[in-house]
């Protein structure tokens, strides 16, 4: 917790109350806090909006706006990092991983430079803009880039913790955020550690592993439904997609009937695929994947609506968990 945050808490505002908005806003405030005490930290903007009145107004010598030019964003950021600075490059996840994929691969990840990519509008959180802004294959792309650390915070508070952890982590880091405010998962700060998942609920019957704000929220809601039916459900927030917390997955595979993965991403190449890769080689178990099916999603709507259309729902998680528990046949909707 920063000194500013501690003063607010002392004045009567809880830590949770500080982080009730969107994760991207929490990250912007955290970046400004970090940059105030470290002149090496730069905000590199791609005309995202909102930085001009905040970061740029207070620290103009640490702010660069390259415009809507994502390839240039990564090239400039890589140059700053090579010069010993700590750049945070800001854009949308769909553009960072597809439009500027080559520069991310070569200039940032391939050069192992400490660029921190802060990518908003991940998953279907920008669904109201249509398919051009859907970022549902970004994790699959990012997972293939050597030396790139990939973080997916579950709420605004965890996003602030992730930004602090990313600031001085060796090598390049990618922080995937949504767009709007999402339900709070954490009520107090904790020791956020890159690569170490968080067990949000204990259970011995089945494990639900989720990543991202709404998937984690849905996982906890599904746990409550299953608990009402007498099942004990372990819920794991996998906030780091790379490196994955292998020990947590091995424990879940060994101690429970299987794993249900939940993500705001295609079922191809995302969290479900990553979890399957680990357990098949280290502790084989059944894995049921809840994500966006392998098809082109051409709908327009908000994130919750599009997730429901894609089959990422509390009911679906419950159904897949019951399959693993032998309480319902595969394909059943009971």
The torsion of the CA quartet 286, 237, 174, 120, rounded to 10 degrees, works out to 110
Q: Is the Cβ–Cβ distance between 240 and 249 less than 8 Å?
A: no
Q: Is the Cβ–Cβ distance between 41 and 89 less than 8 Å?
A: no
Q: What is the DSSP string of 159-226?
A: HHHHHHHHHT-SS-EEEE--SS------SS-----TT--EEEE--SSEEEEE-SHHHHHHHHHHHHHH
Choice among 70, 263, 303, 320 that is catalytic: 70
**Residue 70 annotated to the active site:** yes
Q: Which of 79, 14, 89, 102 is nearest to 47 (CA)?
A: 89
Q: Three-class SS string for 108-164?
A: HHCCCCCCEEEEECCECCCHHHCHHHCECCHHHHHHCCCCCEEECCCCHHHHHHHHH
Q: Which two tokens stand for residue 135?
A: 């970022």
The torsion of the CA quartet 119, 122, 125, 131, rounded to 10 degrees, works out to 110
Q: Write the DSSP symbol of residue 248.
A: H
Q: Would you call the peptide bond into 243 cis, given omega within 30 degrees of 0 as the criterion?
A: yes
Q: Which residues are catalytic?
A: 70
């Amino acid at each position: 917790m920063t000194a500013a945050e501690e003063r607010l808490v002392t004045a009567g505002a809880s830590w949770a109350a500080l982080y009730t908005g969107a994760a991207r806003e929490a990250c912007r405030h955290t970046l400004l806090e970090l940059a105030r005490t470290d002149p090496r930290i730069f905000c590199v903007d791609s005309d995202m909006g909102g930085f001009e009145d905040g970061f740029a107004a207070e620290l103009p010598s640490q702010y660069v706006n390259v415009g809507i030019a994502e390839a240039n964003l990564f090239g400039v950021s890589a140059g700053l990092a090579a010069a010993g600075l700590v750049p945070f490059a800001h854009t949308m996840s769909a553009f960072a991983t597809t439009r500027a994929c080559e520069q991310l691969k070569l200039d940032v990840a391939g050069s192992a430079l400490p660029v921190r990519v802060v990518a908003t509008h991940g998953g279907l959180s920008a669904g109201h803009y249509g398919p051009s802004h859907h970022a549902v294959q970004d994790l699959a792309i990012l997972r293939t880039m050597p030396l790139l650390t990939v973080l997916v915070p579950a709420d605004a508070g965890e996003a602030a913790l992730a930004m602090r952890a990313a600031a001085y982590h060796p090598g390049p880091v990618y922080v995937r955020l949504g767009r709007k405010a999402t339900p709070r998962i954490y009520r107090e700060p904790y020791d956020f550690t890159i690569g170490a998942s968080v067990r949000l609920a204990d259970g011995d019957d089945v494990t639900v592993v989720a990543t991202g704000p709404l998937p984690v929220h849905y996982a906890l809601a599904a746990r409550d439904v299953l608990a009402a039916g007498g099942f004990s459900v372990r819920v794991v927030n996998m906030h780091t997609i790379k490196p994955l917390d292998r020990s947590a997955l091995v424990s879940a595979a060994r101690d429970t009937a299987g794993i249900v993965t939940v993500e705001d991403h295609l079922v191809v190449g995302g969290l479900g695929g990553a979890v399957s890769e680990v357990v098949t080689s280290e502790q084989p178990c059944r894995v049921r994947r809840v994500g966006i099916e392998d098809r082109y999603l051409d709908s327009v709507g908000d994130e919750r609506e599009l997730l429901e259309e894609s089959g990422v729902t509390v009911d679906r998680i419950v159904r897949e968990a019951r399959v693993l528990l032998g309480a319902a046949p595969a394909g059943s909707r009971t």
